[in-house]
Chains A and B, each alone.
Chain A
């Protein structure tokens, strides 16, 4: 053989060796056989860590390890989508936003848990159980719940307003006197903005689809117009803080915590932080703020979008029995759910609300949660949400007409309803 042929042979051998090395070092091999992997959002990280710790103390042989998902709901879904769509068994327990149940179930990504229904019903909040129900089956167990609060500065505002127009009026005036911004919330183009929009929409009497899920009713009445025009005006007249259209949850919380806003719409997780409970993260508004239910357009009652995480078992998991044990532990054990309650991450176990009735955030939650509205659990919810992101955002920023936006969303809801049952 010539030298050239020899060197070619050598290259071939090296290539085969290299390929062997690559195969040997795939990430799944690093995971211990007995370890359970739980994927959940990095938001409220210390709370989830305490839950994992409680499990690990009770089950030292089969510990749980948390894989953190990004803080933004769209990004969380993206990551789970990529894993589950590829049939990956990397995550055993997946945390689903309340709106993903139908889609994940339809795609065959999660296991049917209907035989656990008896253990859950009556113990967990009904709205949360409903968000786990799709097509007559139970697909997950409720872990945390969520509802929007109106945070307001007690040193600048005497009574929390009960209507949206009043909120604007009071906010603009107080902000001018104090030299800060009137209102921060979730205004960037993402699912969080959809939630904010729906709270205006629902509180103006709107309904996205009919109760029997057969008709698109988004454009009926003038709720969509009322909500969109309210948002557009708030953006124009400076009620929304500068940079409102790039804000998500935590930047909004930081701005309020620095004392730079009069009002904020945010989830309960902000309450302990604003109270200054985290020493490394001092609060300029500790003792100077309070919480109230979100306003409506007519001043009657309150409406919040129901949020939260439900725990499901990855259909491709190799540790399903253990995963089932873990989600029962996280959702049904009172001690576990108390961990959430003490840290202002809304629990889903009814008994915890009774036990923690003295906590102001918990007390407000028991008032707000029964009125909370769930987004429709259609498998096609994400297309509706996407249409709202693509249309509500330009409409409130004044780059698209309100009429065109309503028309485009209605068309998408009609599509989603017509293929929803598949």
Chain B
């Protein structure tokens, strides 16, 4: 991504030309970006590569044993707990991203309208997104707990002793609910930015041609919003696949809510095994990368790689 955008200014009229001091403009550009490339390599690339290296070693507690090649990978892929957490992660991702997208789109359309109190409405909608996730998780856990039981008290058709956090299925529901509550405003923000780039004239032309409100939405808004939708989906999906704080705080991974990150963290600290933890991290990385690539290829390669691709 970075190289594709960096190449553009250099392709400007004139092309590479030596400047007065003898360094070409492209050379100067390379010189200037080299510190940031180095910094990126140290903070981003090194840990990833180091995790890959560690994942080939066997550990007993924190003490390194021997090189096992793919031994940890075989253990992970034949472990039911790993697959359970893959399923939990995907269930969480599919449901939370879907609802966040639908609700976020609704919010964005509302915030885009001109009406009295629009500023207040925009600010209100964004409040959940500003609250740190751990705090939001604590808050929702408290609300869903049987005692004091705010949710059970507030909902008329739910028995007072309904145990949301401690029953199969509902435990995952509470986590998805909390995530949608928190992140739908973020999706709305991204989509709103997209909506504001659509010129009003296009809608006027549509109205002149007699398009209904629904037709204007599906034929004008959605296609022109595609770049914003892609960005929102990409951000949310890759983010949701790494979910840790909500299940860790709300259910401690009980009742099928142990996501991949919760599992990894278990092998980092609870039962330390850096080799196996790295293996799980690498697998998570591959999974997130795979889903990201898939999303980009489905929703629009040209949006990410530039027009020429």
Proximity string of chain B (109-143) to chain A, C-beta cutoff 8 Å, 1 when within and 0 when not: 00000000000000000000000000000000000
**Contact mask for chain B residues 241-254; partner A; CB cutoff 8 A; 1 contact, 0 none:** 00000000000111
Q: Is A350's CB within 8 Å of the partner chain B?
A: no
Q: Which of A367-422 contact B (CB under 8 A)?
A: 379-380, 382-383, 386, 390, 393-394, 397, 399, 419, 422
On whether the beta carbons of B266 and A2 are closer than 8 Å, the reply is no
Are B166 and A246 interface neighbours, CB within 8 A? yes
Taking CB atoms, residues of chain B closer than 8 Å to A245 are 163, 166, 254
12 contacts between A and B (CB under 8 A): A1-B21, A2-B19, A81-B269, A81-B272, A107-B62, A188-B252, A189-B253, A189-B254, A190-B252, A241-B146, A255-B147, A382-B270
Partner among A190, A242, A379, A382 whose Cβ is within 8 Å of the Cβ of B146: A242
Q: A246 to B146, Cβ gap below 8 A? A: yes
Residue of chain B at shortest CB distance from A74: B270
Which B residues lie within 8 Å of A255 (CB)?
147
- Which residue of the partner chain A has the closest CB to B60? A419
User: A242-286: contact bitstring with B at CB < 8 Å (1 yes, 0 no)?
Assistant: 111110000100110000100000000000000000000000000
A107 and B61 alpha carbons, distance in the complex (Å)? 9
Q: How large is the interface on A (under 10, 10 to 19, 20 to 34, 35 or more residues)?
A: 35 or more
A210: chain B residues at CB < 8 Å are: none
A242 touches B163 (CB 8 A): yes
The answer, yes or no, to whether A82 is at the interface (CB within 8 Å) is yes
Whether A215 sits at the interface, judged by CB under 8 Å, is no
Q: Which residue of A lies closest to B62 (CB)?
A: A107
CA distance A82 to B145 in the complex (A): 30
CB distance from B65 to the nearest CB of A (A): 10
Q: Mark A1-43, 1 if CB is under 8 A from B, else 0.
A: 1101100100010010000000000000000000000000000
Q: Which of B11-40 contact A (CB under 8 A)?
A: 19, 21, 28, 32, 35
CB-nearest residue of chain B relative to A419?
B60
- The minimal Cβ–Cβ distance linking B158 to chain A, given in whole angstroms, is 12
**Looking across the interface, which residue of chain B has its beta carbon closest to that of A106?**
B61
Count of A-B residue pairs with CB < 8 Å: 71
B63 at the interface (CB under 8 A from A): yes
- CB pair A189–B168 under 8 Å, yes or no, is no
Decide yes or no: A189 and B61 within 8 Å by CB, A8-B32, A246-B145 being known contacts. Answer: no
> Which B residues are in CB contact (< 8 Å) with A85?
62
Q: Which of A1, A386, A393 contacts B266 (CB 8 A)?
A: A386
Chain A residues lying within 8 Å of B252, measured Cβ to Cβ, are 188-190
A78 proximal to B (CB < 8 A) = yes
B165 at the interface (CB under 8 A from A): yes
* Minimal beta-carbon separation of B84 from chain A (angstroms): 11
Q: A189-B253, A243-B147, A383-B271 are in contact. List 9 more A-B contacts (CB 8 A).
A: A15-B35, A78-B269, A85-B62, A242-B146, A245-B254, A397-B255, A399-B168, A399-B255, A422-B61
Instruction: Answer yes or no: B239 CB below 8 A from chain A CBs.
Output: no
Nearest 6 CB-CB pairs, A to B?
Answer: A243-B146, A242-B161, A245-B166, A383-B271, A189-B254, A242-B146
Residues of B near A382 (CB, < 8 A) are 270-271
Q: How far is the CA of A393 from the CA of B258 in the complex (A)?
A: 14
Q: Using CB atoms, name the residue of chain A closest to B270.
A: A386
Residues of A within 8 A of B161 (CB): 242-243
B window 139-169: CB within 8 A of A: 145-147, 161-163, 165-166, 168
Report the Cα distance A401→B254, complex, angstroms.
Answer: 16
A82 and B19 within 8 A (CB) = no
